[in-house]
Structure 1
C-alpha cells in the first residue's frame, strides 16, 4: 500500500502542477472579473446538479462491486456496473433537460449577486457545461472501477489532458475575444477524459453491455448505500452555494478569490489526502467484507497519521506564507493587488481547516467501507448548518476571509465528531498513540515554520522574491523531515524503511 501511495502522490503532484497552470492561466487572462466569475459558476452548477448524485453512486459502487465479485463472480459485477451506467444516463438526461429550460433561475440561485452581462454570460456558459454531465457519469464510475482493479495511475493522471485542453481554451478565448470557448473547452476536456478511461477500462476486462434493469437487487442495495452519501453531498453543495452567493454579494470577484484560495488548499488535499484515500478505500472495503477488523483498524490508523504527517506542516507553512504564495502563483496579468489581498486572506483562513478536511475524508471512507453511509451524512448536515451560521456571523465582519474561516471551523468540529462516532462503532484506533504522533508532528511543523520565517527574511535581502520563497520552502521541508527522523513516529519510520528497501533492491 505504501508503494502505491508514494507513486500516486508523485503522479497526482504532476497532475496538480498542470492544474495550477490552468488556474494561473485563468487568473492571468481574466483575473477576478465578471467573466471568470460567470465561468466558475458554470463549472459549479453541473457539479451541484449531478455531481452530488455521482459522488454518492461512485462511493457506494466499490463496496458493492467487492461484495458482488466475491459472492456472485466477475460477470455479475460487470453487469452491475453497466446497469448502473445506463440507469444514470437516462436519469441525467432528465436533469439536463430541466437545467436547459430553467438555466437563468438556477444561475440566480447560485449567484444572486449576478446582474446584466455577468448574468447573461453565466447562463450561456451553463447551458454548454450541462452537457458535460454525460461524460461525468462514465468518468466517475470507470475511475472507481479502475481504482478497484488497482490501476490507480490512470484516474489520477486524467487531470493533465483536461487541464491542457482547458488552458488552450482560455488562451484561445482571450486571443479571439470569444469567451464562449471557455465553456466549450471544458466539455471537450471531459470528453477526452471519458475516452482515456474507456480505453484503459477495456484493457482491464470492462465491456459495455446494453442492460437496463431498474429491478436489479444489486442496484437497489447500492442505492440504499448511496442515498445517504447523496444527501450528505447535497448539503455540502448547499454550503458551497451559500458561500458563493455571499461571496458574489461581498465583493466583485469574490467568487474567483474564493476559488483561487480553495485551489491552493485543494492542491495539498489532492496530492496527499486523495493519494492515501484512493489506495486505502478499496483495501479497507475488502478487509471489511472479509471481516478482518484488526487489519482494517491498523490500516486506518496508519492512514490517519499519514494524512497528519503531510497536511499539518502544509497548514503551518500556509499560515506563515499565505500572501507570498498567492503572489508567486497568481500575481500577474489581470490578477491585481486587490485580488492578491482577497485571495491571500481566504487562503490563510482555509488553511486552518486543512487537516480537519483531510481527516474527515479518511474517516468518512472508513464508514463507507463498513457500509454505513448514514453517519457521514448526518455529520455533513451538522457541518453545513454550523458553516452557514458562521458565514452569516463572520462575512459581514471579515468579508471573503470570514467565509473561509467558517468552512475551517466547521471542518475541524465535524472531524472530531466523526472520530467519536468511529470509536463507538469499531473500538479503539490507538487514540493515545495517535495523539502522541500528532503532537510530535505539530512540534516539528512549528520548528520548521519558525526557521523558515527567519530564513525567508534573510533570503529576501540577498536575492529576488521567487527564488527566495522557493528556496525557503525547500529548506523548511528538509528541516521538517530531519526532525521527523528523530521523533520516532511509526507511520513515518515504516515509510522511510520501505523506501530504503526499494532503493537497496534497485542498486544491488
Structure 2
C-alpha cells in the first residue's frame, strides 16, 4: 500500500511541479509587463476573490467532505449507488454554483467594496476591478466542477490528470498576456482576466473523457434530498471554514494591504507564490493521495493501517518542510531577484517582497502540516473539531494583524498569517493525539536525529556558497539564474547525500 501511495505522491508532485513552474513563468510575465503597479494590484484582487471561493468550496471544504462519503459508498454500497451519488452531487453542486456565479457577476461592485475597500475613492482602480471581477467570477463554477471531477478520479487512484489540470490555467494566462500588446496596462490586465475565464472552461472539459473511461461520467441531476448529498452538505458546513483558514487569512492580508502604498498587494502576492511552491508540490500532494486511503481505512475500521498511513504522511512533511523552510528563508532575496526582478519590477520591489516572503516562511512548516493533519479529521468525517481550531487561528491572525500592521506594514500582515498557521497546526496535532487518532510509532526519534544532521549541513552549505546580496543585485538575469541553479541543486545534493550517509533509504519512504 505504501509503495502505491509513494508512487501516487510522486505523480501528483511531478504534475504540481510542472504547474508551479508555469505559474512562475506566468507571474514573471505579469510582473514584467505590469510591474508592481495599480493595474497589477487590481487584477490580483479580481483573481483572488473567485480563487478564494474556489479553494473554500471546491478544493477545500467540498473535497474534504465529498471524498470520505464517496469512499464510504465505494466500500459499503453498490456501483449503481456510487454512480447515483456522483450524479446527484454534480447536479446539486452545479446548480448552486451557477446561482453563486450569476450573483457574483451582478454584484461585482459590492464584492470589490468588501474585498478591496482600499480601492474606494480611487475611481480608475475601482471600475477596473469591478469589470475584471465580472469576467473572472464565473471561474468558480467551472473550477469547482473540475475539482469535483478530480475528486472522483482521485478516489479510484487516478491522480495524474487532476494534478495536471492547473497547468492549463497558467498556459491560458501566459497566452493572454503575450497575445495582447502590453502597451496599455488596463488592456493587458483585462486580457489576463479573460485568460482566467477561458482556463476554467478548458480545465473542466479535460476531465470528462477520463471520467467516461472509468465509467463514472454520470448525467448531473438535482439531488438535494439524497442522503449522500445531505451528508456531504452537513460535513461541508464546518469544513467551509476549517480547511480554508489559511486562504481566509491571506484574503484578509489583501484587504488590509489595499490600504497601504501601491505595490503592497503585489509584494504579498509574489511572496505567497513562492510559499505555494513547496506547499503545493509536497504538502498538498501528500494530503491528496492519503485522503482516499485514510477514508477507506476508516470505513473498514482498519485502525492500524490508518495510523501507519498517517505516520508516513507526517514523516514526509518533515523530510521536505524543514529544508524548504531553511532554504527559502536564507535565499529569500536572491530568489525574488532571480525570478521576478526585471522589467517594471524593480530592485526595491524585490527587496520588499523578500521581506514578506521571510515572514511567510516562518509559518511554512505549519502551513504544510495543516494540509496533512486536517485529513486525520476529515477522513473520519469529523468537520467540527477543525472548525473550532480554525476559529482560534482566525482570531489569532486578526489580533496579530492589528498588532503588526502599523509598525511592519505588509510584512506584519505576512507574519500574522504565519503565526496563525503555527497555532492552527499545533492545535490540530494536540487534538489528534488526545483522541488517539495519531499514535507515534517507534521511528520518530531516529528520524528527527537524521533530519537534524542533514539540515545543519544544509545551513552550513548555503551560508558558505551563497554570494552577498549586493552581487545578486548587480548580476544580470543569466548570472542570477546560473548561480541560483548551482545553489538550489547543490543544496538538494548536499541534503540528500547527508541523509544517505545517515542511512536514510528509499525503503524508509515506502514503509508505513
* Match 1:5 to one of 1, 4, 9: 9
CA–CA distance in 2 between the matches of 1:170 and 1:121? 17
Whether the 8 Å contact between 2:169 and 2:195 is mirrored in structure 1 is no
Query: Cα deviations across residues 11-60 of structure 1 (Å, max 9, x unaligned)?
Result: 22122111111111111111211111111111111234464232312211
**429-438 or 99-108, which moves further after superposition?**
429-438
SS at match of 1:113: helix
- For residue 175 of structure 1, give the secondary structure of its aligned residue in structure 2: coil
- Write the deviation string for residues 261-317 of structure 1: whole angstroms up to 9, x where unpaired: 111010111111122111111111111111111111111111101011011101001
The structure 1 residue matched to 2:454, chosen from 444, 447, 454, is 444
Alignment of 1:17 with 2:27, yes or no, is no
1:472 alignment partner, one of 472, 487, 493: 487
The 1:269/1:437 distance shift into structure 2, 3 A limit, reads same
Encode CA deviations 1:438-477: one digit per residue, 9 max, x unaligned. 3532442132122222122399799933322221221211
Distance 1:17 1:361 in 2: 21
Which structure 1 segments of 5+ residues have no match?
Answer: 499-508
Number of the residue aligned with 1:71:
76
How far, CA to CA, are the matches of 1:341 and 1:454 in structure 2? 22
Structure 1 CA distance for aligned equivalents of residues 131 and 394 of structure 2:
30
Matches for 1:299-318 after TM superposition, within 5 Å = 299-318=309-328
- The Cα shift of 1:176 comes to 6.3
- Cα distance in structure 2, aligned partners of 1:217 and 1:496: 38
Q: Are positions 1:62 and 2:53 aligned together?
A: no
C-alpha deviation, 1:432, in angstroms: 7.2
Quickly say closer, same or farther: Cα 1:89–1:104, change in 2 above 3 A.
Answer: same
Higher helix share: 1
Match of 1:248 among 238, 255, 258: 258
Corresponding residue of 2:101:
96
Deviations 1:327-380 (A, max 9, x none): 000010111122101210111111111111101110001111111111111111
The partner residue of 1:192 within 178, 194, 202 is 202
Distance 1:313 1:90, change over 3 A: same
Contact 2:246 2:417 in 1 (8 A): no
2:163 aligned with 1:153 = no
Q: Does the Cα contact within 8 Å between 1:305 and 1:438 map onto a contact in 2?
A: no
User: 1:414 Cα deviation (Å)?
Assistant: 1.8
Which of 133, 152, 156 in structure 1 is aligned with 2:140?
A: 133
CA distance in 2, matches of 1:241, 1:134: 20
Please state whether the residue corresponding to 2:258 is helix, strand or coil. Answer: helix
Q: d(CA) in 2 for partners of 1:73 and 1:131?
A: 35
- Kindly tell me: are residues 443 and 381 of structure 1, through their superposed partners in 2, closer, same or farther at Cα, counting changes over 3 Å? farther
- Equivalent residue for 1:201? 211
- Return closer, same or farther for 1:111/1:174 CA change in 2, 3 Å cut-off: farther
Structure 2 partner of 1:385: 395
**How far apart, in 2, do the equivalents of 1:50 and 1:428 lie?**
30
Aligned residues: 497
Q: Distance in 2 between matches of 1:325 and 1:48?
A: 26
Aligned partners of 2:105 and 2:138 also within 8 Å:
no
- Please give the root-mean-square deviation of Cα atoms over the aligned residues, in Å: 2.3
Relative to the length of structure 1, the TM-score reads: 0.92
Alignment CA distance shift 1:442-1:394 (3 Å)? farther
Find the partner of 1:36 among 12, 33, 40.
40
